[in-house]
Amino acid sequence: MRIAYQYRLKLTKDQKAKIDHWLSMLCAQYNYLLADRFYWYDQNRCPINACPLVCHSPELRNNPDYYSQKKTLPNLKKTHPWYKEIHSQVLQDVVKRVKLAFDRFIKGDSNGKRSGRPRFKKKQRYRTFTYPQMKEGCLEGNLINLPKIGKVKIVLHRPIPDGFKIKTASITKKCDGYYLVLSLEDKTVPEVKPDINPDSIIGIDVGLKEFLTTSEGETVNIPQYYRRSQKRLRVIQKRLSRRKKGGKNTLKAIKQLGKQHKKVADKRKDFHFKTANYLLSKYDVIAHENLNIKGLAKSRLAKSVLDAGWSSFLTILASKAVRVAWPTAINAGLLAIPVSAQNT
């Protein structure tokens, strides 16, 4: 089983400066590798039997794939010595991110759905880097040892469950600070336990007047956190629009607006988790309808649909349904009830 825990980081000034410097360099490398792929694609995507009458002769070169771009990293450290500061596996993960973004554009995902053309990242939009591998014993109390950064203090608000090992670690810069996301794995834990009570099955129907209605007639009110905070968001947005572009006051207003939006998102997420825990404490199997949430999000009901956050809630419900079935759930402080989620 694979799960993820998020913790807040308490960094020193030097550690913050180092992480920001890494993010700026990784952003530049991401854009360079993506431009290299676009250059080859634009020059060679036209087949030989369908070339236009007026065209140029493309440069003969192999398609830049994951392995060929990864082989350029040693030369990068020779031509740009400052990239030696970054851990080698963190740089390799940037190549992997470029590959995934470009493959979704060319081939599509596992369901065959293609995404749009990948965009080049601005420094403000490149906010995460990942260590693909972490050594055993890297977490000592409330300190974690990150390669080439050193020991970093974290707010360990919940312990790592027994038997789970840290596989990857990602550092993310948000508007209110820095966060660490640990990916944990325990291969001995089954995904879903088979002992389900057939009498403890329920269906739910999500809506906009009521957040959800169960098949037994029980309802959960919709909180509408975004609509309640619109007045405050409007004041901050006006304040931002009056600032001079590129000034320090503009950056302060942007940060204040980001914090307000994060408060709304955190409240909604907390509501989703509490609602999911409430349902899973009462029922073994929870079935829900197959919603076209993307289609509804493009309609006149977009604001209400996005404010309700159905997709996020159903994802949390499915992950919590598997999580409460752990044999180690009691040690982790979770509900020890066998539950499975089902789509209908």
Phi and psi (nearest 5°) for 8?
A: -85, 140
Q: For residue 9, which of 183, 148, 174 has the smallest C-alpha distance?
A: 174
Q: Report the pLDDT value the prediction gives residue 51, as an integer from 0 to 100.
A: 62
Overall domain count for the chain: 2
My answer on whether 183 and 289 are in the same domain is: no
My answer on whether 218 and 312 are in the same domain is: yes
In tens digits, the chain (344 residues) has pLDDT values of 788 899 999 999 999 999 999 999 999 999 999 999 998 888 776 665 666 666 666 666 778 899 999 999 999 999 999 999 999 999 999 999 999 999 999 888 777 788 889 999 998 899 999 999 999 889 998 999 999 999 999 999 999 988 889 999 999 999 889 999 999 988 776 555 556 666 778 899 999 899 999 988 889 999 999 999 999 999 999 999 999 888 889 989 999 999 999 999 999 999 999 999 999 888 888 888 888 888 888 888 899 999 999 999 998 998 888 776 554 333 333 333 333 333 33
My answer on whether 243 and 171 are in the same domain is: no
Domain of residue 240 covers 201-343
CA 202 to chain centre: 30
Is 193 domain-assigned?
no
Q: Report the pLDDT value the prediction gives residue 191, as an integer from 0 to 100.
A: 54
Is 235 domain-assigned?
yes
Contacts 24+ apart (CB under 8 A), 179-183: 179/6, 179/7, 179/8, 179/9, 180/6, 180/7, 180/8, 180/9, 180/144, 180/152, 180/154, 181/4, 181/5, 181/6, 181/7, 182/4, 182/5, 182/6, 182/7, 183/2, 183/3, 183/4
My answer on whether 112 and 135 are in the same domain is: yes
My answer on whether 14 and 118 are in the same domain is: yes
| Residue 92 near residue 76 (C-beta atoms within 8 A) | no
My answer on whether 7 and 61 are in the same domain is: yes
| Residue 328 near residue 310 (C-beta atoms within 8 A) | no
Which among 162, 188, 214 is the end of a domain?
A: 188
Helix (H) or strand (E) holding 3: strand 2-10
Cα–Cα distances in Å, from 202 out to 126, 219, 233, 277? 42, 13, 38, 14
My answer on whether 25 and 158 are in the same domain is: yes
Task: List CB contacts of 63: < 8 A, sequence separation 6 or more.
Answer: 40, 44
Is 196 domain-assigned?
no
My answer on whether 299 and 238 are in the same domain is: yes
My answer on whether 164 and 238 are in the same domain is: no
Q: Report the pLDDT value the prediction gives residue 268, as an integer from 0 to 100.
A: 94
My answer on whether 117 and 183 are in the same domain is: yes
